Amino acid sequence: MKQLVLFLLSLSFSFLSFAKKLEVGKGKAFSSITRALAAAAEGDTVYVFEGVYKEGNISVSKGVHLIGVHYPVLDGQKKHEILSIKAANTFVSGFIVQHSGYATLDDPGAIKVYNTRDVTLCDNILDDNFFGIYLQYCSNCVIKNNRITSYGVEEQQIGNGIHCWKSDSIQIIANKVTGHRDGIYFEFVTNSIIWRNVTTANIRYGLHFMFSNNDAYISNVFLNNGAGVAVMFTKNVKMFNNTFQENWGDAAYGLFLKEISDSYIFGNRFIRNTSGIHMEGTNRIKVEKNIFEANGWGMKIQASCMDNEIVSNNFIGNTFDISTNGFLVLNTFNGNYWDKYEGYDLDKNKIGDIPYHPLSLFSVIVENNAAAMLLFRSFMVTLLDKSEKIIPSLTPDNFMDHSPLMHSLKL
């Protein structure tokens, strides 16, 4: 057995010894990346030295390491998909990739990965491309530490920063994405993680999920996008420790949930959004230990939602903490801190002695007639809300937190 192990080790070292290093650049063995790739074999490393390379579409059909030295530039001249990867075990790092072609039929990108696995794209700078990084039918790929910038004005005229389609086990880690349609887009992507990314000033969403089950997004920042995050037609999603901030607009929100189930929203910060969370057709979602601060609406929970738990959250400085468009209460609130709570705590157990009704009468009126916001902060509205708390007439009696906290949670 020992001899077999030694034989296998020696065989692997012999394969490694055959891996070549090819150099591209001024005064190097190769003057073009395309020629170096043609001469390379599986497992070789191609070093590309600084300079501007205008080679049209560069296709990688062998599993090689393609490494930029001092950030060489791959320029698509507004005509081409720049780098097409069609081989497993490919590694690309250290490039500036700019000026891809623009087209709506074939979705050209700065870097596009086709039907393969075990591809790593890291430490690249992508500038002024239609799509940034595009994965289709891929698995076990890593997209890490890339800076992806474009300058889209209308969503119909620009693609997504990181676009993943029908893929599995993808890792999207510590990228910065700005100026695209969606910062990160997942459709039919499973068992994947989005971690420590920053998406800002994207036209539509910072992150967009569609039909993508069993995924997690953790410790990301979604700042000043058209809307923060949309998760649609999905189940078993974990959303932990993200920041949703400054996502403003008529139909904007920090987090939009539509037709999702069996998911967990924990430890997030919803700061200064039109709506912190907007929920439609959601079931069995647990919303726990989040901060909702200075939003227009902390949460909008439509009547189509049921069996959701909202527990141990802080609601601070929101115009409206909760809003709904129905009267049937199918969700539970428990142990949250509400800065508008005016109850008392005679037994000093840090829990209010009377339940709190977070649904104000005026929020119900506004939900059915948006123009009523013109009357916000008027004496009549204040009087209506005070009267409704004493004698509920239009808000559901059982829409309440039975154990409101007297002090905010340290989250």
Instruction: List, for residues 237-295, the tens digit of each pLDDT value.
Output: 999 999 999 888 776 899 999 999 999 999 999 999 999 999 999 999 999 999 999 99
Instruction: List, for residues 291-333, the tens digit of each pLDDT value.
Output: 999 998 999 998 899 999 999 999 999 988 998 887 667 899 9
Q: Which amino acid is at 408?
A: S
Note the pTM of the prediction, 2 decimals: 0.88
* 3-class secondary structure, 72: coil
Beta strand spans in 267-331 (E)? 269-271, 275-280, 283-288, 291-293, 297-301, 309-311, 314-316, 320-323
Check if the beta carbon of residue 61 is closer than 8 Å to that of residue 87: yes
Question: pLDDT category, 16, cuts 50, 70, 90?
Answer: very low
